[in-house]
Structure 1
Amino acid sequence: MFNRAIKLLLIGLILFTPIAFGSMELWAFSLMELGILLIMILWAIQTGIVRFSASEEPVHSALGTRHSPLPMILFALFLLLILFQLLPLPSGILKILSPKTFAIRSALSLEPSASSFPLSFFPLLTQIEFFKWLTLAGLFLFLMSWRPLEQSDRTQKQLLVAVMTAGVLESLYGMFEFFSGHRHILHVAAENLVSAATGTFLNRNYFAGYLLMVIPLSMGFLFSREANRAGRSMGWRHWISSLDGKTLLIGFGVMVMILGLLFSASRMGILSLLLAFTLISLFFRSPRGKRSFSRGSILILGLAVLWAAWIGLDAVISRFFTASEGLEGRWVFWVNTFQIFKDFPIFGSGLGTYLQIFPMYRSFHTQGFVSHAENDFLQLASEVGVIGFGLLSVLFFYHFMKALSGIRSLSDHEPGRFLAIGGLVGILALMFHSLVERNIQVPSNAFLYTFIFALVLRVAPVRRETQQT
């Protein structure tokens, strides 16, 4: 009963987070956080019941920290750093730890003689971001310990189908709004925003970033269905004719999502897609020189591009001719953001405070306000400093190497190999895209990123243990 409720909630969040404008609004990401909290409460109750039941085996976690506490320690230190940013510090200590924060606080304070200030430039925004990170961390820990994700292929497939369904629906809706001239995002008239396919996202690049994770994962799901035939040698015609209806439907869905990404006209999104398919072609190649799935990925990409060309790619191609202008604009953002990092090098200006701090460093005129740095990593470094960015970097590379190790241990006949490769490629594609766009900060993308990373880590080690027993 508990597992079924948890699974339905998880599928609901997978579908809800992108549809609700990418969960960018306060109400949307608050519901996302409440959904994750409810999942964790149900899981905690279930775990307690199992542990107190004499007929059940103890619950074992698949989390790597069972043998190494390093990931837990690293993220706990990061959360403690954010709490430290919120802690009012005596002015004398603040002046030592962050001279620029002290100077700005003193200049803007209505009470210059105030005895204490926090490191965060805007504590309320830091609190909001803290709870986002905390809930996503809880989701990750839950996924790394939830037994049906390991023991039930049906549950795993249902979650993958939900992710793929979200990507296909977003692509179809985005292309409908763009080509029909309706130019709405759900009920909101958005003539200026819908200059390309955006799905239900408020920005084409957020939409492209979401699809960059779903497409490779779906490719991995597609080829995992054919894993038991990976060692056979057969021609193209025989292979295509042997595919069942569900496999063909998944392949068609991947093509639809590629179309959606192409018509988003996101330049870096398209380049990241090409990078993703290059990695897929390399990783899906059989190490023993037998039949390879890499040709299948190239075929799907080629058919999607031909389909898009038949519809018309003029608007997409014209976007690439203005790439130099876009890069020049981003360069100014990056220079100004790096100046923030130089002034707040150790502890940062406060997680989530970029919107408030950037106007003091902006060297150009713009209408409206600047909410992000067009580079997730540079913005994160400016907000949490060297300490916070270093902790997260070590945490990422630890899990990345763990995932690679698990993938290497899987044979070509293991479906988990293809799922793990597809998920890992999607993560890398999003991070490549995040070098010039805001992606990981978008709640729906952060949710899917967390889900896929946990799935990759869960699939590879579990399949490896199955092989060894």
Structure 2
Amino acid sequence: MTTLTVILIVAGLLYLICAVLDLRLALALFCALLPTYLLRFALPLPFGPLDALPSTLLEVFFWILFLTWLLVGRQPKKKPKGTAAVNAVTDHDLRRWMPGLVLLILGASIGVLIAPNIISALGLWRAYFLEPVLFFFLFTDLVREARTRRMVLAALGLTLAIVGLVAIIQKLTGWWIPNPVWRDEATRRVTGFYGFPNGIGLMAAPITILMAAWTVDLIRKVRYWRDSIWPLLTGTSALLGILAILFAVSEGAMLGIAAGLLTYGLLSRSIRKYTLIGLIFVFVLILIYTPLRNYTSLMLSMRDDSWQVRKIVWSESIDMIGDRPVFGAGLSGYSDALPTYHLARHIEIFQYPHNMLLNFWTETGLIGLVGFLALLWSFFISTGTTIRRRPDEWLPIALFAAMIAVLIHGLVDVPYFKNDLAFLFWILIGLAASLRLSVETKKKK
């Protein structure tokens, strides 16, 4: 028995015990364990077209959580004490997400059928669509109270803090950075657990927004010294997230963080004036500090090398989509479909087109892209309605801002097509649905 097998068995058994004893705690723990998708293995199969089924430790945790919920943990449909109205609200609230969800799954399923490698496409379909969507239903069933939402947020903040600590160690020492160029002190870019710098930014940006917003809210509620413990913890997590992104030199994540923090500051009535003052200060600093002005000009004009590469990749991707606008290239089909359109031979063919919308279009076709946009529409309508009805509550504004950070980062990268990122996207959707449900439930009562 290998060491990996022992780890899988022990971790799986411990997580099963946790799920049986406290399903909500297991859900929060799952959110903290998103990076465990990096621990990969293959399950031997006795029959079928494959000798083994590729999987991850995160996937093991998901199926333990999902099956435990399905068998013993689901909330009853009929509740005592006249809560039928709550159930009706639950059903109605989930219906608002169904058009986008169904279209996304349909587009991804068609993407499997037209993919050049159906076996590989099925693996992506399972990890990026089936499991996260099932997780969404589990999440909205279990996360109905503020306490459970706080558990989920605390779990995400813990993971962010650990990633930030690893990033600081890597920045100081160069340890565990796989690429010698990134490891070199003069050009050092930290990678965390992920093996590449942007992996940190993709995960850290939305969670950092949530932690920063939570910190602001907790600081407002401090009355005694003991009340400062939680804002100290969440603020440390947010700071570590920002440092991790800076040390990774993830410019897309930096843009996302800036846009997200600005969105939160402008929408939050308690800090709006401070945000405007800070915005004026930043503009003045850009004007008077030459290196910062030059860097800003370079980024906005898209003249640096990374922008040039991305513009070429986008142009070639659009040419490819132009010949297959309805169904795209299929799941995992981008790198197979692009060579015909790839004229810039000095640039490698990437796995994805480094743009979120183009990525969904190439992988899931127009149907999946429309589904994704419909989900975003439902998300912003849901959080926007909650903000209007409860303008002093921090979480709906923070979720709105976190999704803005994801989308801004998604202009130059793909904050979805990784195991952890797909789940993180649906955690944001699930939290929005949970908040909306609590608003509607209070109205019914």
TM-score bracket, shorter-length normalisation = 0.7 to 0.9
> What does residue 332 of structure 2 align with?
352
357, 361, 368: which one pairs with 1:381?
Answer: 361
> What does residue 98 of structure 2 align with?
72
Change beyond 3 A, Cα 1:176–1:422:
same
Change beyond 3 A, Cα 1:435–1:72:
same
> What does residue 23 of structure 2 align with?
6
- TM-score normalized by structure 1? 0.74
Distance (whole Å) between structure 2 residues aligned to residue 298 and residue 242 of structure 1: 30
**Residue pair 2:212, 2:238 contacting (<8 A) in 1 also:** yes
Q: Secondary structure at the match of 1:208?
A: helix
Change beyond 3 A, Cα 1:67–1:260:
closer
1:220 aligns with 2:187: no
1:138 aligns with 2:134: yes
18, 38, 46: which one pairs with 2:72?
Answer: 46
Distance (whole Å) between structure 2 residues aligned to residue 338 and residue 13 of structure 1: 37
> What does residue 35 of structure 1 align with?
61
Change beyond 3 A, Cα 1:64–1:193:
farther
My pick for the range that moved more, 253-262 or 69-78, is 69-78
**Residue pair 1:224, 1:419 contacting (<8 A) in 2 also:** no
* 1:20-73 CA-partner distances (Å, limit 9, x unpaired): 54x799899633233222222111222569569999977965876526735324
Number of residues of Structure 1 aligned to a counterpart in Structure 2: 400
Change beyond 3 A, Cα 1:298–1:395:
same
Distance (whole Å) between structure 1 residues aligned to residue 276 and residue 425 of structure 2: 22
Distance (whole Å) between structure 1 residues aligned to residue 75 and residue 346 of structure 2: 57
Q: Secondary structure at the match of 2:354?
A: coil
Change beyond 3 A, Cα 1:79–1:273:
closer
> What does residue 168 of structure 1 align with?
161
225, 236, 240: which one pairs with 1:256?
Answer: 240
More helix by share: 2
Distance (whole Å) between structure 2 residues aligned to residue 4 and residue 61 of structure 1: 25
The answer for unaligned runs of 5 or more in structure 1 is 88-118, 230-238, 287-291, 303-312
**Residue pair 1:122, 1:356 contacting (<8 A) in 2 also:** no
432, 437, 440: which one pairs with 2:413?
Answer: 437
TM-fit CA distance, 1:425:
1.0
Q: Secondary structure at the match of 1:144?
A: helix
TM-fit CA distance, 1:332:
0.7
Change beyond 3 A, Cα 1:323–1:208:
farther
1:266 aligns with 2:250: yes
Distance (whole Å) between structure 2 residues aligned to residue 226 and residue 130 of structure 1: 42
**Residue pair 2:99, 2:374 contacting (<8 A) in 1 also:** no
Distance (whole Å) between structure 2 residues aligned to residue 418 and residue 15 of structure 1: 22
> What does residue 129 of structure 1 align with?
124
Please give the root-mean-square deviation of Cα atoms over the aligned residues, in Å.
3.8
Change beyond 3 A, Cα 1:159–1:225:
same
TM-fit CA distance, 1:130:
1.6
**Residue pair 1:51, 1:57 contacting (<8 A) in 2 also:** no
1:343 aligns with 2:319: no
Distance (whole Å) between structure 2 residues aligned to residue 272 and residue 137 of structure 1: 25
Distance (whole Å) between structure 2 residues aligned to residue 447 and residue 85 of structure 1: 20
My pick for the range that moved more, 76-85 or 239-248, is 239-248
Change beyond 3 A, Cα 1:319–1:263:
farther
Distance (whole Å) between structure 2 residues aligned to residue 438 and residue 326 of structure 1: 15
1:281 aligns with 2:265: yes
1:207 aligns with 2:191: no
Q: Displaced runs of 4+ in structure 1, greater than 4 A?
A: 1-4, 23-29, 47-65, 226-229, 239-243, 296-299, 317-323, 366-369
Distance (whole Å) between structure 2 residues aligned to residue 59 and residue 222 of structure 1: 34
- Aligned AA (1:427): M
> What does residue 190 of structure 2 align with?
197
**Residue pair 2:37, 2:57 contacting (<8 A) in 1 also:** no
* 1:113-165 CA-partner distances (Å, limit 9, x unpaired): xxxxxx3333223212221201100111111121xx223x4433222111111
Distance (whole Å) between structure 1 residues aligned to residue 121 and residue 237 of structure 2: 39
Distance (whole Å) between structure 1 residues aligned to residue 172 and residue 409 of structure 2: 25
> What does residue 453 of structure 1 align with?
429
Distance (whole Å) between structure 2 residues aligned to residue 431 and residue 63 of structure 1: 29
**Residue pair 1:213, 1:449 contacting (<8 A) in 2 also:** no
The answer for unaligned runs of 5 or more in structure 2 is 1-17, 44-53, 282-290
- Structure number with bigger Rg: 1
> What does residue 362 of structure 1 align with?
342
**Residue pair 1:376, 1:441 contacting (<8 A) in 2 also:** no
Change beyond 3 A, Cα 1:83–1:55:
same
TM-fit CA distance, 1:369:
4.8
- TM-score normalized by structure 2? 0.77
Distance (whole Å) between structure 1 residues aligned to residue 170 and residue 262 of structure 2: 30
* 1:231-273 CA-partner distances (Å, limit 9, x unpaired): xxxxxxxx99896232223223322221221222122221221
362, 386, 391: which one pairs with 1:406?
Answer: 386
**Residue pair 2:110, 2:364 contacting (<8 A) in 1 also:** no
TM-fit CA distance, 1:344:
0.9
Distance (whole Å) between structure 2 residues aligned to residue 43 and residue 52 of structure 1: 17
Distance (whole Å) between structure 2 residues aligned to residue 366 and residue 15 of structure 1: 40
TM-fit CA distance, 1:438:
2.5
